[in-house]
Chains A and B, each alone.
Chain A
C-alpha cells in the first residue's frame, strides 16, 4: 500500500489518508480481513500526529470500510457494492462543486451547464 501525503495540497491530511486506504481496498491491494497498521505505527511512519490517523480510521470505520477490534487492531471489512457506489457519488459531488465554483466566476448559467453535460454524456454513449 502506498500512502503519499502532500503537505501543500489543500485537502486535509486525514482525507488523503482515507482516500489512499480506500483506493487500496478498492484495488484489492488491501484484502478483506487484512490488518491495517496500528494508528501509532502509521502515524510514526508518516511522521504525523496519531490523532490525524485516528480521525481517518474512525471515519473509514463509520463509512464501513474497516472494523476496529479493541486491543487487536483495525481490519478491512468485506467489500460492499453499496460502498463503492457511495464513493463514486461523493466524487461526482466534488466535481459538481468545482463546476459550480467555475460557473460562478465566469457567469456561466445553469442551463449552459446542463447543455454541456448532456452533450458530453451523449457523446460518450
Chain B
C-alpha cells in the first residue's frame, strides 16, 4: 500500500455547487497541498474523506474503505478543521481528559510537552486564546495521538508569518518522524506550500485542474513576458494561458527551458504557485 489516501471519482452535489469526479492520491511520506479559491470544493473534499458528509465515488484510507471502516480509520487520522473544534468553553487539561477517551494511542506526555514548548496557557478557556494560540492547540491536539495521516483544512489562515512558520515546522517534524506518514493540507496561502508540499492538487469549480509535483511547478513552469508581435509568433501548444496587460503580454508555460530553446525571448521567469493559480483562473485560453 503505497498511498495513504486514494480518491476515485468522488462527487457531491449541493444546490448551487457540485464536486465533480475528484480523483487523486496522497502517497506515503508526502505532503499534498490542496489549493483553489474559497468555496470551490477543498473543504468539501476533506469532509468527504472524513465521511462528515456523504459522497459518491470511492475513498480508500490506509487501505480500507472510508465508510465501512470509519471509526478504525479515524484512530489513525489527526484532523484540524477551519472553523470547528471541540468546544469554546474548555481548557488544555480538559482536552487531554476527553481525547484520552477517544483515541487509543493518545499520548498525554507528548501533548503536554508540546503545550509547554509552545507556551500555551494551561488554565485559560479556549475562548480566550488568540487565533494563533488556538490554531497551535488544534494542531497539537491533532498530532498527539501519533496518527499516520494529518488532514488539515486551512491550518495557517489568519496567522502572522512568524506563527505560520512555527506551524509549518511542526508539520515538517511530524512527517520526518515516520516515513509512513502523510499530510493532506488545504490552503489558500500558496506561498506556505512552496516550502513544504511535495504535490499540489488544484481545484477550481468543483473539479481538478492539475495534480503535479511541487518541484515541477516551481522549476519548470515559467512566465514569459513579451510584445504583441512576439506573442503572435508563439505556437499554441507551447503555452498554457496568456494575459494581455497594458504594456506587455504575459504567458504561462509549463517548460521554460524548452521554451527558451525554441523562442528568442529573454524575459522568462520562474512562476510561483500563486502566479500559476492566477493564470489558470484569470488568464485567457489560447
The short answer to whether A and B are in direct contact, CB under 8 Å, is yes
Chain A interface (Cβ < 8 Å from any Cβ of B): 7, 10, 12-14, 40-41, 44, 47-52, 55
**Does B164 belong to the interface (CB within 8 Å)?**
no
Residues on B with beta carbons closer than 8 Å to the beta carbon of A14: 215, 219
Inter-subunit contact B30/A7 (CB<8 Å)? no
Inter-subunit contact B195/A7 (CB<8 Å)? no
Residues on B with beta carbons closer than 8 Å to the beta carbon of A41: 176
A40 to B29, CA, bound (A): 9
B178, closest chain A residue (CB)? A40
Inter-subunit contact B195/A50 (CB<8 Å)? no
Inter-subunit contact A40/B179 (CB<8 Å)? yes
Whether A49 contacts B197 in the complex (CB less than 8 A), given A13-B219, A44-B172, comes out as yes
Inter-subunit contact B176/A49 (CB<8 Å)? no
**Does B270 belong to the interface (CB within 8 Å)?**
yes
**Does B196 belong to the interface (CB within 8 Å)?**
yes
Residues on A with beta carbons closer than 8 Å to the beta carbon of B176: 40-41, 44
Residues on B with beta carbons closer than 8 Å to the beta carbon of A52: 214-215, 219
Q: Which secondary structure characterizes the binding site on chain A?
A: helix
Residues on B with beta carbons closer than 8 Å to the beta carbon of A55: 215
Residues on A with beta carbons closer than 8 Å to the beta carbon of B137: none
9 closest cross-chain pairs (CB), A and B: A47-B195, A44-B172, A49-B198, A49-B214, A52-B215, A51-B215, A12-B219, A51-B213, A49-B215
Which chain B residues numbered 182 to 239 have a C-beta less than 8 Å away from chain A? 195-198, 213-215, 218-219
A55, closest chain B residue (CB)? B215
A99 to B137, CA, bound (A): 57
**Does B175 belong to the interface (CB within 8 Å)?**
yes
A83 to B29, CA, bound (A): 33
Inter-subunit contact A49/B213 (CB<8 Å)? yes
Which chain B residues numbered 9 to 49 have a C-beta less than 8 Å away from chain A? 29-31
Minimum C-beta distance from B29 to chain A (A) = 7
Q: Pick the contact of A7: B31, B173, B179, B270 (CB < 8 A).
A: B270
B268, closest chain A residue (CB)? A10
A17 to B270, CA, bound (A): 18
A40 to B198, CA, bound (A): 11
